[in-house]
Amino acid sequence: MTSTAELPAFFVGARKAVNRELERWSRLVEQDMEGRVGAAIAYSLRAPGKRLRPALLLAAFRELGGEGDASELAAAVEIVHTYSLVHDDLPCMDNDDLRRGRPTTHKQFDVPTATEAGFRMVPLSARVLAAGAKRLGLDTTALGAIAGELYRAAGASGMIAGQVMDLEAEGKDLSLEELERIHCAKTGALIAASGVMGAMAARADAETVEVIRQYGSCIGLAFQIVDDVLDETGTSSELGKTAGKDAAQQKATFATLLGVEPAMKRAREECGRAVDLLREHGLDCQTLAGLARFVVERKN
């Protein structure tokens, strides 16, 4: 598995493009929604981040022949992800004070404001998604399919289901299969959907879309495994969030269940499987292959 020389430049360009859209929509939110909730939404969206999910969408879109600017479509995915982080940090969830190197939204404002801000980001993401589809000239059928992909991944059969299972599992001994089930929903579903949305926007055929889905599922699981390892081995300043919180909350993790080195071996295997899927189906997607490598090599 090899990365491409252009991957760093692609990542920088993707972040700039998505951050530009997030900033534009943050200003619109501040104009349309005066007061603490609008300010909290803008604060959350302006937080720095890897922008992995939008980068996956943009990479799939570009490498599968998409034409036009998909950055607004990618920003919609990041808004959904940001909403999940705002709610994940609340006292009733993970009760965290630090996110992306800054105070969490409920610490910067207050719990009711952060809670409402998170809820309001969901319809905001729909507005951004629709605007992004219009920019690309996608018809309502394509928009409906892409929206369905996003909100199924974020909803009760995906991210929300995973969060519920994660909370219920605190303090319990889990099997590897049970842990994988939690994180394929909580983390993996939105990561997989990001690539699928890019493929759909590029008007890829159904077989190609399914390959991208499988690729995304592999790197989604790898991403969570690496996250668990970093939580155990990294520092808060390195991670930009509170280190060691999984142990403090008595959560089962891949690092505790498998051990740090075996967990990283599993993460590398998953990313290798993702790249093999692309190769086996004749998809020359070097940026997607490079993003798979980034998932296992990242330090935060």
pLDDT tens for 254-264 read 999 999 999 99
What pLDDT score was predicted for residue 247?
A: 65
Mean residue pLDDT of the chain comes to 92
Residue 2: the pLDDT is 41
Specify the pLDDT at position 1. Answer: 39
Query: What is the C-alpha separation between 229 and 224, in angstroms, rounded?
Result: 9
Contact 154, 160 (CB under 8 A): yes
Using CA atoms, how far apart are residues 264 and 12, in angstroms rounded to an integer?
26
Region of poorest pLDDT, from 25-34, 204-213, 243-252, 279-288: 243-252
**Residue 72: closest CA among 82, 57, 91:** 57
- Per-residue tokens: 227: 């996250």
47-69 pLDDT, tens digit per residue, is: 999 999 999 999 999 999 999 99
How far apart, in Å, are the Cα atoms of 209 and each of 65, 90, 214, 229? 13, 35, 9, 30
Assign 34 a pLDDT band (cuts: 50, 70, 90). Answer: confident
3 pLDDT more than 80? no
Alpha-carbon span 28 to 38, nearest angstrom: 9
**d(C-alpha 41, C-alpha 46), whole Å:** 9
Q: How many CB atoms lie within 10 A of CB 129?
A: 24
Q: What pLDDT, on the 0 to 100 scale, is given for residue 170?
A: 84
**187 residue type, one letter:** T
Round to the nearest angstrom and report the end-to-end CA distance of the chain. Answer: 21
Torsion of CA 46, 52, 57, 63, to 10 degrees: 130
Segment 64-92 mean pLDDT: 96
Q: Which domains does the chain have, with CATH numbers?
A: 7-297 (1.10.600.10)
The predicted-structure confidence for 113-169, as pLDDT tens digits, reads as follows 999 999 999 999 999 999 999 999 999 999 999 999 999 999 998 999 999 998 888
Residue 123: predicted pLDDT: 97
Q: For residue 298, what pLDDT is reported?
A: 87
Per-residue pLDDT averaged across 74-80, rounded?
98
Residue 241 has pLDDT above 80, yes or no: no
Answer yes or no: is pLDDT of 299 > 50: yes
> Is the pLDDT confidence value at 250 over 60?
yes
pLDDT of residue 244: 62
Q: What is the pLDDT of residue 73?
A: 98
